[in-house]
Amino acid sequence: MSGLSTPLLLAVLAASVAIVVLGGSSLASTGDRIAQYTGFGRVFVGALFIAVATSLPELGTAVTAAVRDAPDLAIGDLFGSSMANMAILAVVDLRYRQRVLPTVELGHTRVAAVAIGLTALALMSIQTPSAVSVAGVGVASIGIAVVYLASLVWFRRVPSLGTAVADPEPFRASPPAIRWPYGRAGRRGDHGEPTGSEEDHPDTSRGLALRFGAATLAVLVATPVLTVATEEAGERFGISQGALGISILAVATSLPELSTSLAAVRIGAADLAVGNLLGSNAANIAMILVVDVFYRGGPVLDAVDDSLAVAGTGAILLMALAIASIASGRVNRVQRFEPDSAVLLVAYVAAMASVTVATA
């Protein structure tokens, strides 16, 4: 894209961002249907299916950057996206009068703890490079992926922890667009009586998979263009790779998480929204293995500048604050203001300022 004029380059960048947002916005309602159809629950579906789907921009962007021999851009995008996701979490909670975080399941704290642990492992690898690798892939990247996969099994098998609020009032921003009356055996009425097979309704398992796949594909296709356009714009405006990945690129690739989470809360699926954001943070770090496979300069974490560790530390701090907000058990009213989400947002701004100074 080096031959494009600056206005045309910015237009390409805006168009790729728009495609990413549109693709991500259709994932929330489909994910909610999948959660109810399979019986997996919103926490697990949000932390796995939706999180991985909305993390595809980060994956596509990081892989493209790795292929273009830009490891700082690749890892900076993953760390920066984890920070941006926590800012999105605060924005969503503030948008709905701080009635989201205190009412979701405590199981989200498990997801956040795993994301914190994975990020810490990545930071340790950056600070203590190792010459050991497997076919050019760092053992730390492999270990992180193994821990992530094991955590998914853990999420599925452990029982629900309930909520921090005793018998919380179900949060619903607005009535859902479509009521989902299905179980695995087929459609059921208000009193549980069968009213037809699942084939009688357009939302079959195949239809759900096709819609979910189409939205995911749209997001995935747009990400290489987004990466190249952002990298080119950064070079023209004199922005370093690390700062570019942590700030502009990370925010752009986090747009699917924003649109999906807002859409999920609107249909009353707050657990899906929070699971998406925290699960995306865990998925972001697990994706370092894929980035490492495509990076041909040795273990990718060994090639990353030490200054990016500031971004990883910031992500850990923000996720710790999110855990505290979820576990606080305080449901806020209009006349009461608890600073949890506001503190999270302020901490994000402070962390970004520190990252900007470190990577300048």
Percent of the chain that is helix, strand, coil (3-state, to 5): 70, 5, 25
- pLDDT of the residue at 158: 64
Distances (CA, A) of 34 to 50, 288, 306: 10, 27, 41
State the DSSP code for 105: B
Alpha-carbon gap, residue 44 to 51, rounded angstroms: 10
Extents of the domains making up the chain = 6-359
Q: Are 81 and 253 in contact (CB under 8 A)?
A: yes
The pair of three-digit structure tokens given for residue 17, joined into one six-digit string: 């961002």
Closest among 161, 150, 149, 79 to 120, alpha carbons compared = 79
- pLDDT of the residue at 333: 44
pLDDT < 70: residue spans in the chain: 1-3, 24-29, 31-32, 35-42, 98, 158-204, 223, 227, 231, 241-242, 244-245, 247, 329-339, 360
- pLDDT of the residue at 24: 66
- pLDDT of the residue at 189: 39
- pLDDT of the residue at 78: 92
- pLDDT of the residue at 50: 79
What DSSP line would sit under 197-236, residue for residue?
-GGGSS--HHHHHHHHHHHHHHHHHHHHHHHHHHHHHHHH
Each residue's pLDDT tens digit, 137-174? 999 999 999 999 999 888 777 656 565 555 555 455 54
List the beta bridge partners of residue 134: 137
Alpha-carbon gap, residue 165 to 81, rounded angstroms: 30
- pLDDT of the residue at 162: 60
Phi, psi of 182 (to 5 degrees): -100, 155
Give every CB contact of residue 333 below 8 A, 6+ residues apart in sequence.
97
- pLDDT of the residue at 252: 72
Each residue's pLDDT tens digit, 98-123? 678 877 888 888 899 999 999 999 99
Q: Are 140 and 320 in contact (CB under 8 A)?
A: no
| Alpha-carbon torsion, ordered 332, 334, 338, 343, to 10 deg | 120
Alpha-carbon gap, residue 352 to 157, rounded angstroms: 36
**CATH number attached to the domain at 6-359:** 1.20.1420.30
Alpha-carbon gap, residue 251 to 264, rounded angstroms: 19
- pLDDT of the residue at 39: 66
